[in-house]
Each structure stands twice: as C-alpha cells, then as structure tokens.
Structure 1
Amino acid sequence: MSNTEGEVISSLSTQIQRAGTLLQRGAADQIEGYQSRFQTIEGLHERLFKNLIVSDFDPKMGFETAKKLFGTEHVSFAAVDGTDYARPLFDLIVFFGGSYATRGTITYNDKSPPSVEYENHFLKGGRALSSCIPVFVNEVPEIDQSFFQQGGSSEVTTARPLTDEMIANNSTIPAWIMTLSEFYLAYRLAKEPDPPRIILLDRSLSSTFPNLIFDSSKRQLWMSNGALHGLQLDNIPLDVNDLAYARYHFYVPELQLPPARGDSLRYRILLELENNGPMTKNQLFQRLGTGSPDRQARVEKFVQKSIKDGYLEETNGLYQLTERYRTTWPRIRKLVETIGQRMFEEKPKENPMKIEKNGSWHWLTTQDMAFLTLFTLNMLIEECLTKNILLLGLAKDTAARDLKNHVLPVLITNGVWKSEISQTDLSNLPNTDRMLLQSLSIFNHKQIPVPWSLVEYDASFL
C-alpha cells in the first residue's frame, strides 16, 4: 500500500515539476521574443512617429473649436455603457442586457485644460434601459443564430452537444440585448428636447456598422429565420425590399454617404431619389459623381434592376421611388420605437422578446436583433446630424492590430507617411497596436509627454 502511494506521490510530483518547467520555458520564449521586438522600436519615434503623435494640446484651440461646433464653451455630454449576463434557472435561462448613461458638462477654457463636471443624483436623474428575458432552454437554439448551421441552412447544428450549460455560456442573446439597449438609449437621449451635445459610446462605430451589415446579410434566411419579415406596419407588411433598403438608410450627401460604389451604390440611388425627388439618368449621374462610362453603365444597371424589383418607376424619362417604398423608413422608425419601448420601457404582458404577427406570437431571433440594432444606429446618426450632436465611439480593444498590419504598411509603401522603415522592420514590431504605442511612449517618455494622442486615420482601415 505504501509503495503504491509512493508511486502516486512521485507521479504527481513529476507532473507538477514538468508543468512548472513548461511554463517557465514558454514564458521565457515569449519574453525573449518581445525583447527582440522592443529592439525594433529603438529610433522609431524619430523615423516615423514624431509627426504622428500629438502631445501638445492647445486649450485655446479646443475652446475655439467648441464654440464653433456647439456655439458655447459649456457642452453637455452623455456616456453610454452596457452590461449583460445569462443565468440558468431550472429549465429556463434568464438573459439580461441593459445600458446606463452618465451625464455631465464639459467646460472649455481658452487658457487652461477643459474641466468635467458630472451630474449629481444619478439614481434619480440618470437614464437607464434594461430587459430581462426568460427563455426555456430548448427554445434558445431557435432564437440564437449562432447555433444554426453555417452556409445558409436554418437547421440547428448537431456538430456539438447542446448541453444546458453550453447553451447558457455560448448564447449571444444577452450581448444582442445589451447592444440594442446601448444604441436605443443613445437614440432616446438624442431625441430629447434638450439633448446632450456629445454622446459617447463604448464601442468602435466604424467597425460596428460593417459587423451589423454582415450579421444581417444572409438574405436567404430573412424570411425563414426571423420574425420581422411579414410584420404589419401601417397595414403594410415588411418585405425583403424594406429590410434591404433600411440597412443602408443613412444619407449624408456632404460626405458622399453611403458611397456610390460597391453594395451601397443601389441604395445611394434610392436615397437620392427619396430625398431629391424624380430625376433623369443624367441628373442621377451628376448627383452620384459617376462621370466615366463604365460607372454610368453600372448605375443604369442598378436602376433597371430596381425597377424590376419594384423600388422605382419610370415616367417620361424621370425615375422616382414607388409609393410603396417611400414609406419604408417612417415604418422602420415606428418599428424600432415600438419594439424598443416594449422591450426596455414598458411592462408587457408577453415576453418582451416576442412580437405579435398574423395573430400569433413569435420570438425575435438574433438576426432580427441585428436588423433592429442596425436600424437604430442609422436613426441615431440621422438624429445627431439633424441636431448637430457629436457622436463618438471609444474602442479599447487590446487585440487591435489595424495600425501595425494595415495603416502603417499601406501609407508608408505609398509615400503618404514619409519614412525609411522597411516592411521587415514593421513586421517585427510588437504584435498589437496597444503594445506598440505603449512601448513607444515608455521608451521615448521625454519626447512624448502624457497625455498624448495618435493622429486620426481613416476608418477604411478598420
């Protein structure tokens, strides 16, 4: 008996010693790797980043900019953040998602840094939205698109065992509730009679939009895997055309948005006709800035397809939006506000994540939540443009690599940013943008006093 115990103790001791050795060697390899990467940073500030990092902030310039943008040096703001969780409860899973806005005022001074004052009594005066959704475990895969087969099938995948714990831990439902609540709360704040002049969101807007476009892109599933299609609004059922058009419904002609290219060209054509009335082809070409014959041919192709799909009609050479789709956006706004109020503000008799369609109740799927979140973002952008509200997204992604992997190589190779640094040196920099910039700041603390900021680069790199 003692020999057996001794063998067991010896075996465990050996395994513990082996694990410690593996951990030590693995950590040493990582440290050595980063030491070599840190060597690449030496001299990088002078060779490249001295013109890309701003650490000298002029209070007077900030004061004048605030006066120009907002008409006052006292600027109200609201910062929105969210939380979510899932908890099993017997044969139910309770999903929670919500968001809260803290508010305050930024006062810009011409001779000293801005000051920030937060509102008191936030429990009484603060704005918050949340929803608690109980769902039977067996119904979760019907709602959550992440459990569906990839590639277009609407059947639940059986590639992995769907245990209760796995469903609760891996469901994306609470994250979708939280995301929708954040954008809906920001929209509600922007709709107030005296809205905050700056709205801060805890996410990158330039990456959130394409992600939402992707999450709502499987057109073959719009009818089968969601409850929005066919929903009656003002006695008109939502169809595929309504959903497709509303995904790109943000019109900022001064910024050429949506851009007259790629997938968004078709919807830019519809938006031009919706906002500016009937046009001839030549007038459309001029509005879209399509001067070359090949681009004009592409516009004409989409015009003809839009006529075939029922979006447009042509009379005596004039093209206009059909009556059916002139009401698309008002009905979509009504849809978002109705579901948002029901999910986050009212006390509904039915589950807040169910909607009534054709006399029966249907679950909103995560595909529907992607649509609703995207529509809410478009509504928020529209409201901010109308009321001159500055909408900012703050990203703190520690794994971001856009600057190192895309921005620097592209702009240096094309001579936009002048530097003799080679592509090999760029590839040997620390792996993430955060580590690169933090290391650069530490190694050059005399040249880069805090606080500092990287110059803005175009969101096309995200």
Structure 2
Amino acid sequence: MSSEHERIVGSVRSSTQKLVGKFSEKIESMRRSSAAIRSLIREGYSADKAIFAARSLFGKEEAKFVAVDGTMAQDRQLDMIIFYAGAYAYQGKIIFDESGCRMAELNEETSSASVSSAIPIYEEEESSVAGKMTEAGAEIDPMRLPSSLMRLSEYYLAMKALEVDPGVKVVLLDRTLAGEFGHLVWSAREWLETGHSAMEGMDTPFGTVSQSDLDLARMLNPNKGLLLPPPRSQFIRYAIVEHLISAGKEVSEEELIRALSKGGGKAERIRRELQRLRDEYGLLEPGEGCRLKPHVWAYWERVSFAAKKVAEHIFETPPGEHPLIMKGGGGERWICSDDLDLVSLFILQRLLRMAWDNGVLLVGLIKDTMAYELAHSVSKVLSATGRIGLAGNVPDFNSDKALLQNYSVVEAMGLNTPWRTIEYDSCFRTAIPLCDAPAPGHGVKVKGAHKNVISNERTFVKAYVQLWRSNNDPAIRSHVFAYDRPCYPGLDNLRGLVLLHEDGEGVEMIEPVLECEEGSPVADLVIAILSSMAGEVIPEALGHNFPLFLADKKAKLVLEVARQTYLATVAYELAKSRLDQQILFNTKFRDFRSEIEAIRRG
C-alpha cells in the first residue's frame, strides 16, 4: 500500500472513530435525559376517546377512508422535456368499537381512482415554466415542475374523492400538510407581487379574480371556533376583513378596535391597516364607518372556482389543448411552477374547509423529516413553564425523528407500541424560545425563526408515532413517523399556554394548541386508525400504512406503463413531423459526450 493510500485510510479511520465517539456521547446524554423525553411520549390510545371523536366528527362509529399517494417522472426526447405526475387512491372502511379500530375492507377506488398528466414542453420554455427568478436570472430546478404537479395531483384527487362521495370521512396523504401549507403561503406572496399569476384575471360565475382576491385567499382561513385568523402581526389586516364579512354590516372603527384588540393595545395598528385597506387596496367603502365593498364578499368563491378550473384543465385536459396553456383574456397563458404551487395552496385550503365543515379527518403521514421543533422549541417551552423537568439539555440528534428512533431502541424494554409524542401546534416550527423561564404572570417569550415571523397558530397540530415492534425482540422496531392534521374546534384544547412575541410594534400574545396534561380525543382517533393499518407483514409496509403502500405501488405500476406509452407517442409525433431533423439535437452536449464515452468503454 502506498503512503498516499495509508494516509487516506488513516484519515478515514480516525474520522470514523471520532464520529462514533460523538454518537456514543449523544446516547449517554439521552440516557441522562430519559425521564424528560419520556414525559413527551404517550403509550397506546383510549378506545373510548377514539369512539367519542369518531361520533363527534363522523356522526357514527364507522367511516369510509381514502388513501392517496402520487408519483412523478421527467424524460427528454430530442429538445423536448416530458413531465409526468399522477396520484392514485385506495378506499376502504374502518369500524370503531370497544377494542379499538379495525379495517373492514380495502379496495381500489373506482369513481375517482386516479388523476394524471403527461406534459411535453420545449427546452427553451423550461426557464419560463419551471424556472425561478433570482438576482442572477432564472434558476432552473429540473424536478420543481414534476414535484409541484405531483403535489397538486394528490390534493386534487383527495378533493375529488370528498366531492364524489360525501361518505368519505378520513383522508390519508403521504405528505406533510402543515409544512407545505406554511411554505406555500410564504412562496405565494412573492409570486402574487409580480402580478404574473395565471389565475389573476380569470372569469368565474362570481366575477373576475383580482390580485386582492388571491391575497385574501392566501392568508384567510376563517374558523370562528378556532379564533382564526388571529388578530396579530401579519394577520391583522385579514382579521379585519374577516370580522367585517362576519358582521355583514357597517362597523364603527372603535367597535372594530374593541373586537380585535385586547385592552386597546393594537388601536394604532388597526387604524393604519384600515387606512391601507381603504386607500391602497380599495376594499372598503368611503366614509367614517368600516364596510367592505360588495365585490370583496365573494373572494373565496372566485378563487376556489378558478383554482379548481386550473386543476381540471391540467388533469382533465380538453382534446387538442396543452395541459399547461390556458386560454383567457383574448390570448393564451402558460401555467408555471409558481402557478401550480398557488393552485395547490388553494386546493389544500379547500380540503381544510371541507374538514372543518363536513367533519372530515385529514391526516398527513410523513416518512422522512429533518424537523427538530419538538426538541428545540416545544420541550424548552414546556420546561420554562415547569410542565416537564429537563435533566440537562435534550441531546441534539439533528432531528426529532433521529432522537425518538434512537430513544425507542435504547428504552426498548419499557416502551410499548403504538406510542406517540404529545401533539403540538405547527406554529412551533417557526417559534424560538428566548429564555428558560416564563415572564412573570404571562407566558414564554419567543421570536420568529425567519425574519421574526411566526406562522398561524391553531390551524394544524403535529406529533410523532411508532406503530410496531417485534414480540420476540422489542429492540426491533418500525420507523418513527410524523403525522399532522387540522385542529378541530370543540375537540382540541385552545387555552392554556401563552407565547409572547415582540414583533417590532408591541408584544403579541399567541395561544397555540399544545398537549400538556390531557390530550385531544382526535389524537386517540388518529392512533387507532393508523394502528389498524400498520400490521401488514410486508417489510416496507410494516409499521407504516398499508393503504398508502398500495396506493404507492399502484402509482409506480401505472407510471411504468404510462411512461412507455407517452414516450412512444412523442417519438412518433416528432418522427412524422415536417421539421428539419438536422436542427433537433438528440441530447445536450454533456449527455452526448457521456453516451460516446460509455460506448467507447464498451
């Protein structure tokens, strides 16, 4: 072995030993913090509470469910790119009794089993359709468009399933709801400010979609029982609009301030936002009183109709038309990745409203996540309020999942499955505790993780769950997964903990959902359902979710068949075209060079 090889081997050996040593230190730190970590975990579930939640949401002790998963692909033919995305569903029935929950039947959906689309575009159009503008110009992420298409296909199929069959009361999705909701709300703001949205200017039975309609729909998810939108920080303007919609009449400025400002501390900010709504946005009638202009009332109907119309055009494209080109305003407009994300946001909001209005349990199951808000935010807030005692800091495993997965193995003999962590508000994802002790008589001080902005509270909650372990060796366990779901008024505890957020204009009080002593019966309902679907003895499905496993396999099978078909179709159309074939290069130069090198190597 040469000296250079010896040096490399020695470097790798010492680096590996150092990493193993650091990991061992984390495990020892975990053992010292075992009691604190255990206080965040709830074993099993109450069948009685699960039945109560089922009756409260579904109106009975059984329900239909639908599990939706998607797939995507990207291929190149000559100077064309073909994007593919689709979603597929399996439906079944679950029954609740004193022993828990059982899956009574499972079958592939028939009436709304799938949505899919194969979309060809020229390479020269990729930057305008799939690119994102930056200071350096358009940056192209090759997987952004198919990823956005797949997400939209899953949300759209879930919405279709609920519309086609009102008996469907449980929707399972293989993605994070809260995480995507927050991301889509944030990214939509930048896109709407450009004024280039394909939805803006669309005609609907309720009027023409305006930029202010899109902005209101982006931020407004009203729910009186959950006190949404919260009258704070970036939500005040939208809380004003929602209050005026609910009032249905002219309201005095002072009356509005009393309704939205505890103790009158927000009076100046509310007056300033009223002035902007009147002068800058043109949403208020002139005069001293506060009254919305008539066109504002139907903002959601316009946006919801337009979003569904765009999704239908993509996945149920009329003959002879392109899925990403819509006609309107006397011309044609491309639907780009930013438009797809905007439509996904509005379809997700539509699902959220259906969940609240129709008693639907919406659950996002997350396989792999690097989130760490449980260890970095939630546990510190609970420690600051004295609800848990931390024997030193919780060890940093870079993610909550890694922490809990390792903990479940280290404490295998005393930790039964199924178990879950406490449920906590998704707003903790964007909140960072500022001190180790609560402010006297108030709450825990926090700041926003990015630009001091904290996302909306009381909209989604999240928890981690482990559903299976071996009876022969308790250390052999399934993966730890995360789930998130909407908050439900009357079932989730909305009072208790207070976060204090100084946003530059004062201290705002945030009241998140956080399980402290007694959990929500919806948590028992979720664990009962997930446990009933986690016992199938298939390695990649065991401890996960069998209906989602089937939907995933169906999606990949359909993709394999569809791919051959649409690629052959594109090749045929190009071959019979009258274009001078000499101008169509088979690949990019780098790809061409790689092919030649591969041929040369044999």
SS state at 1:116 partner: strand
Cα pair distance change 1:382/1:126, threshold 3 Å: closer
Deviation readout 1:244-299 (Å, 9 max, x if unpaired)? 112123210211112111222111211222233122224323443x1333312211
Cα pair distance change 1:337/1:195, threshold 3 Å: farther
What's 1:160 paired with?
A: none
Give the drift of 1:218.
Answer: 1.4
8 Å contact kept, 2:32–2:391: no
Cα pair distance change 1:324/1:64, threshold 3 Å: closer
Alignment partner of 1:194 out of 163, 166, 175? 166
Q: CA RMSD of the aligned region, Å?
A: 2.4
Normalized against structure 1, the TM-score is what? 0.85
Consecutive unaligned residues of structure 2, counting only runs of 5 or more, are 430-602
Rounded to whole Å, the distance in 1 between the matches of 2:227 and 2:16 is 50
> 1:93 aligned to 2:90?
no
Amino acid at match of 2:69: D
8 Å contact kept, 1:199–1:390: yes
8 Å contact kept, 1:38–1:430: no
> 1:321 aligned to 2:292?
yes
Map residues 446-457 of structure 1 onto 2, 5 A cutoff.
Answer: 446-457=413-424
Cα pair distance change 1:233/1:67, threshold 3 Å: closer
> 1:421 aligned to 2:421?
no
Alignment partner of 2:126 out of 140, 164, 169? 140
Normalized against structure 2, the TM-score is what? 0.66
Alignment partner of 2:313 out of 342, 361, 386? 342
Rounded to whole Å, the distance in 1 between the matches of 2:209 and 2:56 is 42
Cα pair distance change 1:65/1:238, threshold 3 Å: closer
> 1:436 aligned to 2:425?
no
SS state at 1:398 partner: coil
SS state at 1:320 partner: coil
What's 1:458 paired with?
A: 425
> 1:215 aligned to 2:202?
no
Rounded to whole Å, the distance in 2 between the matches of 1:96 and 1:19 is 44
Map residues 203-282 of structure 1 onto 2, 5 A cutoff.
Answer: 203-218=175-190, 221-223=193-195, 225-234=196-205, 236-278=207-249, 279-282=251-254
Cα pair distance change 1:243/1:20, threshold 3 Å: same
> 1:184 aligned to 2:156?
yes
SS state at 1:84 partner: strand
Cα pair distance change 1:123/1:109, threshold 3 Å: closer
Cα pair distance change 1:56/1:326, threshold 3 Å: closer
What's 2:517 paired with?
A: none
Consecutive unaligned residues of structure 1, counting only runs of 5 or more, are 1-9, 158-166
Rounded to whole Å, the distance in 1 between the matches of 2:109 and 2:278 is 53
SS state at 2:189 partner: coil
Identify the range of structure 1 (136-145 vs 201-210) with the bigger mean alpha-carbon deviation: 201-210
> 1:128 aligned to 2:114?
yes
Give the drift of 1:376.
Answer: 1.2
Deviation readout 1:56-115 (Å, 9 max, x if unpaired)? 3232332333233322221221122221121111111111112122211121120x2311
8 Å contact kept, 2:86–2:117: yes
Rounded to whole Å, the distance in 1 between the matches of 2:238 and 2:129 is 29
Identify the range of structure 1 (440-449 vs 62-71) with the bigger mean alpha-carbon deviation: 62-71
Give the drift of 1:436.
Answer: 1.0
Identify the range of structure 1 (273-282 vs 31-40) with the bigger mean alpha-carbon deviation: 273-282
What's 2:44 paired with?
A: 56
Identify the range of structure 1 (205-214 vs 52-61) with the bigger mean alpha-carbon deviation: 52-61
Give the drift of 1:17.
Answer: 5.9
What's 2:22 paired with?
A: 33
SS state at 1:403 partner: helix
> 1:108 aligned to 2:96?
yes
Rounded to whole Å, the distance in 1 between the matches of 2:211 and 2:183 is 20
Normalized per residue, the structure richer in helix is: 1
Rounded to whole Å, the distance in 2 between the matches of 1:15 and 1:352 is 57
SS state at 1:60 partner: helix
Cα pair distance change 1:415/1:297, threshold 3 Å: same
Give the drift of 1:364.
Answer: 1.0
Give the drift of 1:123.
Answer: 6.4
